Amino acid sequence: MFLLKTELWRMAKQTGIAQTAVTHMLSRLAMLDMDRSVSRDAGLLTGPSLRSRDALHIAAALHAGANVSITYDAR
């Protein structure tokens, strides 16, 4: 939960997106707390360019049973 919020606030600040837009979007999302198993599973994911925070997002989504993921990465 805190990882997503932090990334959204920082991305908005860096790109000039209004903070009110971030607040509105966050109000429409269901936030789930992560437990230790999410951290463990994130550590077991592989990929040559997979960063730790991305691995945490993926593991959390898998634990929540998500079947869709929306990403933003200009690289």
| Residues counted in the chain | 75
Residues 61 and 47 both lie in one domain: yes
User: Do 58 and 47 sit in the same domain of this protein?
Assistant: yes
* Two structure tokens written together for 59: 């593991």
Question: Which pTM value belongs to this model?
Answer: 0.65
Asked if residue 39 and residue 21 are part of one domain, the reply reads no
Q: Are 17 and 27 in contact (CB under 8 A)?
A: no
The predicted-structure confidence for 18-35, as pLDDT tens digits, reads as follows 999 999 999 998 887 888
Q: Are residues 21 and 48 in the same domain?
A: no
- Given a contact cutoff of 8 angstroms between Cβ atoms, the answer to whether 59 and 36 are in contact is no
* Residue 65 clears pLDDT 90, i.e. is over it: yes
**Both 55 and 25 in a single domain?**
no
Q: How many domains does the chain have?
A: 2
Indicate whether 56 and 22 sit together in one domain.
no
Report for 33-37, 43-47, 65-69: range of highest mean pLDDT: 43-47
Q: Which domain holds residue 73?
A: 34-75
Radius of gyration of the chain (CA): 13
